[in-house]
Amino acid sequence: MSWYKSLKNMKQSQEEFFKIRCKKCLMPNFVSTWNSPEGNACEYCSPGEEREIIFPDDMSNDNKDMTISDIVKLVHSEKKGKYDCMVSITGGRDSTYMMYYAKEVLGLNPVAFNFHTGFVTDVAQENMINVTNTLGIDFIQFRIDGRFLKKLCRGFFLNNGEVCSVCHQGHFYTVQKVAQWTGLKVLLRGLCKKTEANYLVPEYFNWYSMNDDDFNARVNGFAESEGITRDELDTHDDFLHMRDWTDNEIKKIDLPDMLDYKQEAISMVLKKLNWKQNNEFIHLDCLYNPILICSQRYAEGYSEKQFIISNLVIDEIGPEEGKKLLMAEENIGFEDLSGLSKFLEIIDVDLPTFEKTVQRHWNVRECSPVKGGGSA
């Protein structure tokens, strides 16, 4: 395979790679500022003043100062019929643990759901089915017309360089459908600020569609070239326009915010539930995510995994373990991604088109800290 050779070689030499990283948290010096010339600590791991955690706009929640007992009270006050609340799951670590916590620790009877994007990995699918079975939780998996979904995903990929917008829209849509069927208004999620927090670059995650207007503007932009008909837009009107409703009407509760969130304890619980892990240490639930991670490194010289690894290094695993994770991360290029051909098959895009799309949409961006050099 030579198609990827014209993409920049993203793999970094390991010697160079450690020279530019903070010794305490492993954040590269083009993302965070060192507190001393030796780089023993930086603005990320040892900030001068306390910072607010910055999260993408559409991942805001409603649990600001709430405690676990406030949440239980809220859930009971909003209970409808046989279910106490909704839980969104992906088959990944955090949402699986939260579902367990809601059922076994808080004693709730949640209904679990998932929007199937078409990119759910086999292991994630297996996890969702096995764990809901084990815990005795009803599970709704929602799919929309595959032909329309494919047009949306292809359109977003070719015109925006990503398919995450469709996934997020689908999530909000599914919440609305489940809320409508059950009458429930409280959604428990496994979004973990501690895992995903990004303290430094507020714009980092905000490249996908954040609301109905933006989503529809983009869809209308490529509807003709992707052969999306007026009829399809009418049929899927709810899918295209229920995100803002969900955002306003449903109380979104991120349980990890209220818990002492230790990876080791979580791993023990997941093992008992027969939850399976693949090679990915984050987002094993999505076939596209490793491609996204590569695209981000192509554009910025680092990916969202950098934040996750540095957070783990500071709180739990220390720099030596973190170095191993980062070295593995820095040595993955597009050509190493086993899921790439399956992804391209699903959205019906060939390799040369994929290459051009990555070059066009993941060019080093204006806001990138590596603009003007340094990105491997």
299 sits near Zn ion (criterion: CB under 5 A): no
Nearer to Zn ion, 35 or 127 (CB): 35
Residue 111, classified by CB atoms within 10 Å of its CB into exposed (0-12), middle (13-18) or buried (19+), is: buried
314 sits near Zn ion (criterion: CB under 5 A): no
Radius of gyration of the chain (CA): 21
- Kindly determine how many residues on this chain lie close enough to bind Zn ion according to the rule CB under 5 A: 7
309 sits near Zn ion (criterion: CB under 5 A): no
What lies within 8 Å, CB to CB, of 131 at 6+ separation is 89, 96, 99, 100, 273, 274, 275
Nearer to Zn ion, 24 or 151 (CB): 24
What lies within 8 Å, CB to CB, of 64 at 6+ separation is none
Asked if 329 and 11 touch (Cβ cutoff 8 Å), the reply is no
Nearer to Zn ion, 42 or 188 (CB): 42
323 sits near Zn ion (criterion: CB under 5 A): no
Q: How far is the CB of 234 from Zn ion (least distance, A)?
A: 52
> Candidates 21-29, 143-151, 243-251, 256-264 — which segment interacts with Zn ion by CB under 5 A?
21-29
> Candidates 20-28, 118-126, 290-298, 322-330 — which segment interacts with Zn ion by CB under 5 A?
20-28
Figure out which of the listed residues 7, 42, 99, 346 binds Zn ion, where binding follows CB under 5 A. Answer: 42
Q: How far apart are CA 324 and CA 315, in angstroms?
A: 16
Asked if 303 and 293 touch (Cβ cutoff 8 Å), the reply is yes
242 sits near Zn ion (criterion: CB under 5 A): no
Nearer to Zn ion, 32 or 114 (CB): 32
Cα atoms in the Cβ-side hemisphere of radius 13 Å centred on 113: 23
Nearer to Zn ion, 27 or 292 (CB): 27
Q: How far is the CB of 136 from Zn ion (least distance, A)?
A: 44
24 sits near Zn ion (criterion: CB under 5 A): yes
Q: How far is the CB of 21 from Zn ion (least distance, A)?
A: 8
In what helix (H) or strand (E) does residue 110 lie, and over which residues does it extend? strand 110-115
Asked if 110 and 84 touch (Cβ cutoff 8 Å), the reply is yes
> Candidates 18-26, 80-88, 155-163, 287-295 — which segment interacts with Zn ion by CB under 5 A?
18-26
Nearer to Zn ion, 39 or 170 (CB): 39
186 sits near Zn ion (criterion: CB under 5 A): no
86 sits near Zn ion (criterion: CB under 5 A): no
Among the residues of 136-236, which ranges form H helices? 146-160, 164-182, 193-196, 212-222, 230-235
312 sits near Zn ion (criterion: CB under 5 A): no
340 sits near Zn ion (criterion: CB under 5 A): no
Nearer to Zn ion, 253 or 314 (CB): 314
Q: What is the DSSP string of 302-335?
A: S-HHHHHHHHHIIIIIHHHHHHHHHHHHHT--GG
> Candidates 41-49, 167-175, 220-228, 294-302 — which segment interacts with Zn ion by CB under 5 A?
41-49
* Percentage helix, strand, coil for the chain under 3-state DSSP, each rounded to 5: 50, 10, 40
Q: How far apart are CA 19 and CA 25, in angstroms?
A: 13
Interactions with Zn ion, residue window 162-181 (CB under 5 A): none
Positive or negative, the CA dihedral 109, 173, 162, 51 is negative
Nearer to Zn ion, 42 or 99 (CB): 42
Q: How far is the CB of 329 from Zn ion (least distance, A)?
A: 17
Binding-site string for Zn ion from residue 45 to residue 84, where x marks contact by CB under 5 A and - marks none: x---------------------------------------
Nearer to Zn ion, 36 or 279 (CB): 36
Q: How far is the CB of 51 from Zn ion (least distance, A)?
A: 13
Closest CA to 197 of 257, 148, 135: 257
Instruction: State the CB neighbour count (10 A cutoff) for residue 350.
Output: 10
What lies within 8 Å, CB to CB, of 196 at 6+ separation is 55, 304, 307, 308
Which residues are near Zn ion by CB under 5 A?
22, 24-25, 27, 42, 44-45
